[in-house]
């Protein structure tokens, strides 16, 4: 089966469980929505797309099948607020839990946090999911032609109108667009990403634009990276673009959206400070606010046990995510620390297999970082871990050695750069390597051990301040 078929089947299982748990949901939702919505009424999501200029749908998602973990730090309510403040026209919220790490509770909390129209982005395979979307506060749902019949699309478009929801009918080729039009779709999205293998063809929407009638809303979805892509959307006459990974990876959402609209942008990497062991060091982190801190559970002079780690976590600013560092640890221990909230992310440095990574992810729904030590530019060992959400590339776990940055040019997936980074060289590393994040431990310590606040401060400032030099 293709990835799309696999996701759709898993979604059917999820819906069966949800329906069994709350069989009265459809009746409850129907009773809550007054009848009488006019067929031609323009609902909030559609209205946000029908502006005189290109509209921007900014997506909230933690991960994807093709990219793994996109947002190790995931304050989704804050992100939604940033999108609204930045001038987004609507929000797309992923609610698929297994590959995208989303859920309906995230959508519910975002609904309470912002006033923008919200699209529930999921693989709708059952009408029950439309009722779920309405109850959660969504303004629109996604109907994907590739996994639905024409009869289902027609029937569910009518249900959406009854529930006062917009529907984005997503097509990937000319025949699917014709099907969407026959069904009466008012909003048609053309996905530049092939959902069979998740490859991206940015010309797909442009090629298919002429197939969509002028009176329908046309959305170009996926793959937007820079101003050139949004200019292409403008020139083809798109009404809107849906932007996911690019917005999620941007530290400054406002600046990124301005760049996509034609104004300059400055990118900043994630900052991780590893090997914290004392309350004082947690206090340093709370003042400096790195994106991630690390507790080492492997043999090391920086090792902490789970009890101490939990106590330190309780003192940490909740906006900072915690990474647990392990070497050949039993999966059950790692899973336990993820599930009890001591850590948010597992980082594996030993002989752990990809199957073990898959098991941890499946059982905890938490991200896993695979640490590797590349030896040469032809080293493609990172390809052996497709289930890892992200890589950490090091010169040797905790060795303090500086990694040869030149050998990383062939790594084409997001990674955190580690290995010999210091306040003095991190700015250069960011300029040369352009990593998704930077990781430091010994580089911000005193010679005798223990973290230095001044070194931590300079590291954070230099990593973030030199990002676009």
Active site residue 281: no
Closest C-alpha among 311, 306, 314 to residue 338: 306
| Cβ-count burial 192-222 (b if 16+ within 10 Å, e if not) | bbbbeebeeebebbbebbebbeeebbbbbbb
Active site residue 462: no
| Cβ-count burial 267-286 (b if 16+ within 10 Å, e if not) | bbbbbbbbbbbeeebbebbe
Structure token pair of residue 264 = 């300059």
In angstroms, rounded to a whole number, what is the distance separating the alpha carbons of residues 124 and 91? 18
Measured at the CA of 329, the angle between CA 392 and CA 10, to 5 degrees, comes to: 75
The catalytic residue among 46, 59, 84, 281 is 59
Pairing of strands 63-64, 68-69: antiparallel
Active site residue 59: yes
The catalytic residue among 64, 194, 204, 222 is 222
The catalytic residue among 61, 253, 256, 451 is 61
Closest C-alpha among 405, 293, 298 to residue 342: 293
Active site residue 221: yes
In angstroms, rounded to a whole number, what is the distance separating the alpha carbons of residues 60 and 101? 11
Active site residue 61: yes
In angstroms, rounded to a whole number, what is the distance separating the alpha carbons of residues 345 and 325? 9
Measured at the CA of 140, the angle between CA 36 and CA 362, to 5 degrees, comes to: 140
In angstroms, rounded to a whole number, what is the distance separating the alpha carbons of residues 261 and 56? 9
The catalytic residue among 191, 204, 442, 462 is 191
Structure token pair of residue 277 = 């062991």
Structure token pair of residue 71 = 């947002």
Separation in Å, CA 77 to CA 80, 110, 192: 5, 5, 27
The catalytic residue among 170, 206, 259, 445 is 170
The catalytic residue among 84, 221, 245, 281 is 221
Active site residue 222: yes
The catalytic residue among 84, 121, 329, 462 is 121
Kindly list the catalytic residues: 59, 61, 121, 170, 191, 221-222
């Amino acid at each position: 089966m293709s990835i799309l078929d696999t996701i759709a089947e898993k979604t059917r299982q999820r819906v069966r469980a949800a329906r069994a748990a709350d069989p009265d949901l459809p009746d409850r939702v129907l009773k809550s929505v007054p009848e009488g919505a006019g067929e031609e009424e323009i609902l909030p999501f559609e209205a946000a797309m029908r502006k005189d200029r290109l509209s921007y749908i900014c997506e909230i998602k933690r991960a994807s099948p093709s990219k793994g973990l996109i947002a190790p730090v995931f304050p989704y309510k804050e992100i939604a607020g940033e999108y609204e403040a930045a001038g987004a026209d609507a929000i797309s919220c992923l609610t698929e839990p297994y590959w995208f790490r989303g859920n309906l509770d995230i959508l519910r909390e975002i609904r309470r946090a912002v006033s923008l129209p919200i699209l529930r982005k999921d693989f709708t395979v059952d009408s029950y999911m439309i009722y779920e979307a309405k109850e959660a506060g969504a303004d629109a749902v996604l109907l994907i032609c590739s996994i639905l019949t024409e009869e289902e699309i027609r029937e569910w478009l009518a249900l959406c109108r009854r529930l006062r929801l917009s529907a984005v009918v997503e097509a990937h080729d000319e025949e699917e667009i014709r099907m969407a039009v026959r069904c009466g779709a008012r909003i048609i999205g053309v996905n530049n990403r092939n959902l069979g293998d998740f490859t991206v063809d940015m010309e797909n929407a442009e090629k298919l634009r002429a197939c969509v009638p002028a009176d329908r809303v046309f959305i170009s979805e996926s793959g937007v990276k820079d101003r050139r892509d949004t200019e292409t959307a403008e020139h083809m006459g798109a009404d809107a673009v849906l932007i996911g990974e690019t917005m999620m990876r941007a530290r400054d959402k406002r600046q990124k959206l301005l760049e996509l609209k034609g104004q300059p942008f400055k990118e900043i990497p994630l900052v991780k400070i590893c090997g914290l062991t004392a309350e004082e060091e947690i206090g340093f982190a709370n003042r400096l606010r790195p994106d991630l801190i690390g507790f080492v559970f492997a043999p090391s002079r920086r090792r902490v046990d789970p009890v101490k780690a939990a106590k330190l976590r309780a003192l940490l600013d909740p906006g900072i995510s915690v990474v647990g560092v392990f070497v050949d640890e039993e999966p059950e221990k790692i899973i336990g620390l993820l599930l009890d909230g001591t850590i948010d992310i597992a980082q594996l440095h030993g002989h752990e297999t990809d199957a073990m990574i898959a098991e941890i992810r499946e059982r905890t729904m938490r991200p896993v970082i695979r640490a590797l030590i590349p030896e040469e530019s032809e080293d493609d060992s990172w390809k052996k871990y497709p289930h890892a959400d992200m890589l950490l590339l090091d010169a040797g776990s905790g060795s303090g050695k500086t990694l040869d940055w030149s050998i990383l040019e062939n790594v084409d997936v997001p990674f955190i750069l580690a290995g010999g980074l210091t306040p003095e060289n991190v700015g250069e590393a960011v300029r040369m390597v352009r990593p998704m994040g930077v990781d430091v431990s010994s580089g911000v310590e005193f010679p005798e051990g223990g973290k230095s606040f001044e070194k931590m401060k300079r590291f954070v400032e230099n990593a973030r301040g030199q990002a676009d030099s």
